[in-house]
Amino acid sequence: MSATLTGITVIDLSRALAGPHAAMMLADQGARVIKVETPGTGDDSRSWGPPFVTPEGGGEPESTYFQSCNRGKESITLDLKSDSGRDTLASLIERADVLVENFRAGVLDRLGFDTDRMFALNPGLVVLSITGFGHDGPEGGRAGYDQIAQGEAGLMSLTGPSPDDPQRVGVPIGDLLAGIYGAFGVAGALRERERTGRGQVVRTSLLASIVGAHAFQGTAYTVAGEVGRARGNHHPAIAPYGLFRCADGAVQIAVGSQAQWRALCGITGRDPDEPGLATNSERVANRERTIESLESAFAAWNREDLLRELATAGIPAGRVRGIDEVYEWSQTHSQGLLVDVEHPTLGTTSLPGPPLRFFAPDGSETTHREFTAPPLLDENGPEIRKWLAGEDTAPGE
């Protein structure tokens, strides 16, 4: 099936995660993504691990980190400090629709590819540029890594058991959000190009992506002047909403309405109109009392029976799954969130799949399901050079 970005060519100059994730999202929608890597070493994430996986019979170990953000791409190595490398990049830019980069501000300029040069080569080019803290401003040139950005952008102050123990999110969420916002920006810029014929630069940063996801924590401060703080596994504005212990583990409950609160009280034998707990505002103000009251009742329940009872009562609830349990879960498989690819050295491997699905008006699924494994370093270099020289055609041409 044809995908939404079939016929679009993307040059991925980025490394590590934010840019590669954005480029992979474009590949998932059918774009041809050519990953430009440093000769000899390639993308930094090729060396990030453990875990690494070694092919049967021996060979170079492959980083599972690299596998996470580079499916569906081709790889070519270019020394961008050499004339030949820069010439090849110029040829790629002339043929491309999108260029993705996450160099520190000014690096691409020094390599001879400032904005003016790129648009001279290709006026319709869409450039996605991702930095740590923004391209300008008093700290615009600052290097950005995810954990640093999580701290600087306030996310760690909201995460963890208490304000005295800030915690990072368990995945590089700033990088991932920057990639997601970046891919969204590229889609918008490509749509605008259809109207005007002109390309443009799309900029985002780890700082911007995290601030963009502050949601109610942001408006609590900007509108009401209240500074959010870490509250562990319980929601700052809704109660009960969080993780609660029961006889053999824990369950998560999200009570978002008074009707759900009354249903929960019916299960636990509590008075829904008990003074101090009758309304959401009261329960938030008396959070510890709310938690203690429910956990006292849940102490007599095992997890599976409690979850079944909560489901019957229409109360949103769930368990805390390990990563292994998630990928073994039938619901995960039903949503296409695990895909098999043929890796050049590892053979058939499974990767986390794309989170989007597409359907025609008649209900038939049109989701693009043709995926290739992350490439070996320079795996596609010879074919790409032939294509640039006019000796071969690009996929789909």
If 0-12 CB within 10 Å is exposed, 13-18 middle and 19+ buried, where does residue 110 land?
Answer: exposed
Q: Are 66 and 374 in contact (CB under 8 A)?
A: yes
Question: pLDDT value at position 57?
Answer: 80
For 9-213+339-388, give the CATH class: alpha beta
Enumerate the domain spans of the chain. 9-213+339-388, 241-318
Beta bridge partners of 101: 129
Q: Are 322 and 354 in contact (CB under 8 A)?
A: no
CA–CA dist 178, 151 (Å, integer): 15
CA–CA dist 275, 251 (Å, integer): 26
Question: pLDDT value at position 274?
Answer: 95
Question: pLDDT value at position 353?
Answer: 94
Closest-CA residue to 17 (of 67, 79, 51): 67
Q: Are 130 and 19 in contact (CB under 8 A)?
A: yes
Amino acid identity at 369: R
The neighbour count for residue 135, using CB atoms within 10 Å, is 16
Query: Which of 79, 175, 273, 378 is the catalytic position?
Result: 175
DSSP 8-state class, residue 394: -
> Is the preceding peptide bond at 51 cis, omega within 30 degrees of 0?
yes
Question: pLDDT value at position 60?
Answer: 86
Q: Are 368 and 29 in contact (CB under 8 A)?
A: yes
Sign of CA dihedral 220, 222, 226, 229: positive
Return the residue matching tokens 């443009």. 200
CA–CA dist 365, 86 (Å, integer): 42
Mean pLDDT of successive 10-residue segments in the chain (397 residues)? 87 96 97 97 95 88 95 97 97 98 91 96 98 94 92 97 94 97 98 97 97 97 96 94 96 96 94 96 96 95 96 96 97 96 94 94 90 96 95 68
Question: pLDDT value at position 395?
Answer: 65
Q: Are 210 and 149 in contact (CB under 8 A)?
A: yes
Length of the chain: 397
DSSP 8-state class, residue 157: G
Question: pLDDT value at position 56?
Answer: 83
Instruction: Give yes or no: 392 in active site.
Output: no
Q: What is the pTM of this model?
A: 0.93
DSSP 8-state class, residue 359: B
Closest-CA residue to 351 (of 49, 8, 53): 53
Domains 9-213+339-388 and 241-318 share a fold: no
CATH 3.40.50.10470 fits 241-318, yes or no: no
> Is the preceding peptide bond at 355 cis, omega within 30 degrees of 0?
no
Q: Are 101 and 130 in contact (CB under 8 A)?
A: yes
